[in-house]
Amino acid sequence: MRLVQTNLRETDVTIDPERYVESLREFSANVVLFNAGGIVANYPTELPFHYRNPLLRGDFLGEVLERAHAAGIRLIARFDFSKVNEVIAADRPDWHYKSVAGDSVSYNGQVHTCLNGQYQQEHSLEILAEVASRYPIDGVFINMHGYQVRDYSRTYHGICQCDNCARRFGEARLPRSEDDPLYPSYEDFKTRTVAELFERRAATVKAVRPSIATCNYTSAGTDIFRLESGTHMVDGLPDFTYSASHHVRLVSDSWPGMAVSNAAVHFVDFPMRHSAVSPHLTALRLAQDTVHGGWLDFYVMGALDAQEDRRCFGPVRDLYAFHAAHERYYTGTTSLADVCLVQPKDPGPEFFGLFRILAEHHVQFDVLREDVVDRERLRRYAAVVLPDPRLSIDTDRPVLTTGTIGAGQLQGAYFAIRPDDKKALSGLDDLDLVYLYGAFEPYEGEGEPFLAYIPPHMFGPPEKCYYTEISDTPGLVRTPSGDVVIPWNIGTHYEQYANDGHARLVMAALRDLLGLKPRLTTDAPAVVEVVARDNPGAGALLVSFVNLTGQSGTAFHAPVPVRDIGVRLATDRTPLRAHALRAGADVPLSHRDGTVSLTLPELSLLETVVIDYRE
C-alpha cells in the first residue's frame, strides 16, 4: 500500500473534495489517512459530546470518501480522543487528565482527557460506532492512544492523578514520579489498560463491519502497526539514519503477517509544522520503507495542495510511482537474516549502536522485541545479539550479550588487545587497544578471557600521559557454553562516537567466536545499506541498496552515486536472471557452488536487483 496522511486543520474542510482526491492520485496513493473525528468532527455528528468543525458545510468526510473509493483509494478514518474541546469539557471535570499538581491541562482550547475517564472509555466508542455505521470506511486509526503526560510544547505534567486512575489502579495511591516504588506496577497497569481499551475500540468497529482494519502504534488488537520517522529536536540531532529501516524491521520481524506503515514525516518538528525536512531525508525514509517490505507512508499537515514547502514532492511522487509499478516484488517478502538483534521494550543507545554496527557491516539481521522472543523463533538464526545483560532468553543459538547496568563514567581507561587475543580475533592487527568511556562491570563467571582492562590513568599534562598497569580483568569473555559477553556498553560507545575499533571488536566476536558465516558479502561501503529478502510469490530473491552518502552531520543532501558494488549471496535457489528495477536493465550474474555473484553498475538513492529463480 502507498498511504498519504493529510493531517487536516479545521480550515481544510472548505477545500474541493474532488481536487483533494485528485491530488492523492497524482502521488500514486491508494490509501489516505483522513481526519474524521475526536478533537474535531469533519462530518455532521449527532453526538452532543463530539465537537463539530465550526467551518463544516455539508458532509466533508462523506464527500471525500465517495470520491476516494471511486478512484480506487481506501480511507482510514483518523481519530484523536486524547483531548476534547474546552466548551464540551468545561462541565465534565471527571473526563480530565489531572497533573501531579492537581490541575487540568488545556492547550489551545483543547483539554487533555484521561484514558480512564468516561469520554475515552465510553464516548470514544460511540463516536467510532457512529462513523463506522454511517460510512463505508476501510480502517480506523487512533492517534495519541494511551496515557499522555506532555502537551504539544512537550511540557511534562506528570503521572495522571485523577480519581478514575486511582480507582482503577487499586493501590493505596498512584505513583507521583518514575522513581516511586509503585511505578513498576503502574507501568504494568498502563500496558494492560491501554491494550484493553484499544481492543474494545477495535471490537466496536469490527462489530459494524469486520473488514474495517485497525491501525495503531501498538500490537494489541491491531491489523496495521503504524510508526513514524520524524525529527524531534529536543531528543538531539542528527536523526537516526536507519529510523525507517528499524521501524519496519521491528514490526515485520516481531509480528509476522502484520502490515507495517512507517510514516516519513514531512515537517521539521511540532513548532515548525509548515516547514519540511530535507527532501533527501524524506526520500531516504521512503526508500528504507520500500526495501524492508513496509507500506510507503508520507505524512503532511493539511492537504497536499496547501503545502508551502514542496521541495520533496518530486522525489515522493517518483518513489510512489516506482513502488506502484513494482509492488509485486515488494509485497510478501521474507527476511534472509543470519542474526537476530533483540530489542528491549525501551531501547537505548546500546541497541542503536549495535544496530548501526550490523547495518554498516552489511550483516543481514532481524529485530525482535524482547516480549515476542521464544526458543522456536530463534532457531532460524545463526546468532543472537542481546544489547542488555538483563535480557533473559531461552535459546540454543550462540549469543552475544553486551552492556552493563552499572553507573559511573570512567575516564582514561582502555582495554588492551594482546597478541594472544589477535590469534582468535581477526581484523585487529593494527589495533592494540580501544578506549573505555563509561561504566564497566567485570564479568564474574567462568570463561575464556579476551582483552585486558587498563584502569584509569593520567591523561594530562601530555608529559604524564602513560599507563603503568594492565590488569588481568577481561573486557570480553567466551563462556563455557560458547556464548560471548562484553560487560561494558560497546554499542553505546559506537552510537555516540562511532569509533571503528569498537565496531571491529563486535564483528570479530560474531565472526570468530560465535562462528557467524554471513550468507551475503559485499564490497559496498558502510554508507550503503544492503538488504536481502526472498519473495516466494514472485519467484525472486531481492538484493536492495539504499545510498546513505547524502548525510553530513545534521544535513541531508543528494546522495553521491556509488558504482560497481559487488555482492555474493549464498542460496539454494537456481538463478535464471537478474535485473535492476530502477535502472530497468539486466545485471550479469554468475552462479557457482551455491553462491550467486553480481555487480551493480551504479547506485543513486535506491536500487533493487531482482534475481529470478526456478523453484
For residue range 225-240, list pLDDT tens digits in order: 999 999 888 878 788 9
Mean predicted lDDT score pLDDT of the chain: 96
Mean pLDDT score, 243-249: 98
121 secondary structure, DSSP code: I
Residue 221: what pLDDT? 86
Mean pLDDT score, 454-480: 95
Residue 112: what pLDDT? 98
State the number of CA atoms in the 13 A half-sphere of 478 facing the CB: 16
For residue range 360-397, list pLDDT tens digits in order: 999 999 999 999 999 999 999 999 999 999 998 999 99
Residue 615: what pLDDT? 66
**C-alpha distances in Å from residue 603, one per residue of 314, 555, 607:** 19, 20, 6
For residues 265 and 297, the answer to whether their CB atoms sit within 8 Å is no
Q: Model pTM greater than 0.75?
A: yes
Residue 485: what pLDDT? 98
Which of 37-41, 321-325, 611-615 has the lowest average pLDDT?
611-615
> Residue 238, preceding bond cis, omega within 30 degrees?
yes
Pairing of strands 2-7, 296-301: parallel
Mean pLDDT score, 411-419: 96
**C-alpha distances in Å from residue 130, one per residue of 61, 109, 205, 332, 401:** 13, 25, 9, 34, 51
Bridge-partner residues for 606, per DSSP? 546
The number of angstroms, rounded, from the C-alpha of 470 to the middle of its chain's C-alpha atoms is: 41
Residue 220: what pLDDT? 83
For residue range 551-570, list pLDDT tens digits in order: 999 999 999 999 999 999 99
Q: Check pLDDT > 80 for residue 125.
A: yes
Cα–Cα dist 492/354, whole Å: 8
**Which sign, positive or negative, has the C-alpha torsion 608, 610, 611, 615?**
positive
Mean pLDDT score, 202-210: 97
Cα–Cα dist 546/528, whole Å: 6
Q: pLDDT class for 408, splitting at 50, 70, 90?
A: confident
For residues 162 and 116, the answer to whether their CB atoms sit within 8 Å is yes
Pairing of strands 259-265, 296-301: parallel
- Residue 256's contacts (CB-CB under 8 Å, 6 or more residues apart) are none
Mean pLDDT score, 515-533: 98
Q: Check pLDDT > 70 for residue 278.
A: yes
The grid coordinates of residue 237 equal: 540531532
Mean pLDDT score, 182-189: 96
For residues 383 and 399, the answer to whether their CB atoms sit within 8 Å is yes
Share of the chain above pLDDT 70, in %: 100
The grid coordinates of residue 323 equal: 513502488
For residues 483 and 451, the answer to whether their CB atoms sit within 8 Å is no
Q: Check pLDDT > 80 for residue 335.
A: yes
Pairing of strands 562-570, 595-603: antiparallel
Residue 48: what pLDDT? 96
Cα–Cα dist 384/481, whole Å: 14
The grid coordinates of residue 497 equal: 562516537
Cα–Cα dist 285/355, whole Å: 16
Residue 172: what pLDDT? 86
Pairing of strands 433-436, 413-416: antiparallel
Q: pLDDT class for 265, splitting at 50, 70, 90?
A: very high
Residue 406: what pLDDT? 82
Q: Check pLDDT > 80 for residue 340.
A: yes
For residue range 14-24, list pLDDT tens digits in order: 999 999 999 99
Closest CA to 228 of 246, 254, 201: 246
The grid coordinates of residue 434 equal: 580501544
1 burial level (CB within 10 Å; 0-12, 13-18, 19+): middle
